[in-house]
């Protein structure tokens, strides 16, 4: 079944830890995105990728980094987590369709940094 997966769904960690949030999609989409969303608030784009070996920073400055070594995989890494990183992180993907393509979202990872 074509879908987009995120793991873990929930993560509670201490300050200074290195973490990687996983995102995988089985739809063969070229474009992938990471958004940060505080509960019940708007989405902010933090990273996106147009394809393998392509990564760009989004509109919201973030201390996280991403990589795109395989089409289906777009992990996000925080080298040293801080309480200000506490938020929900949503991964999305879309097919290249001239601009009218909708994004498909994963279930999100809710991160709490103590």
Q: Which residues bind another protein (CB under 8 A)?
A: 6, 31, 40-43, 45, 48, 50, 58-59, 90, 92, 99-100, 102-108, 110
Q: Least Å distance between CB 40 and another protein?
A: 6
Nearer to another protein, 46 or 81 (CB): 46
**Phi (first) and psi of residue 41, to 5 degrees:** -115, 180
**Order of all β-strands in the sheet with 19-25:** 4-7, 19-25, 76-78, 65-66
| Smallest distance, another protein to C-beta of residue 23, A | 11
Cβ at position 107, least distance to another protein in Å: 5
By the 8 A CB rule, do 57 and 63 touch? no
């Amino acid at each position: 079944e074509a879908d987009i997966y995120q793991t873990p769904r929930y993560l509670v960690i201490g300050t200074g830890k290195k973490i990687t949030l996983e995102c995988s999609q089985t739809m063969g989409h070229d474009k992938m995105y990471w958004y940060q969303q505080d509960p019940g608030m708007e989405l902010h784009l933090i990273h996106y990728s147009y394809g393998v070996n392509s990564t760009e920073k989004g509109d919201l400055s973030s201390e996280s980094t991403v990589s795109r070594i395989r089409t289906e995989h777009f992990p996000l890494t925080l080298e040293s987590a801080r309480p200000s990183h506490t938020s929900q992180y949503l991964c999305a993907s879309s097919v290249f369709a001239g601009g009218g393509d909708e994004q498909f979202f994963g279930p999100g990872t809710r991160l709490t940094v103590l």
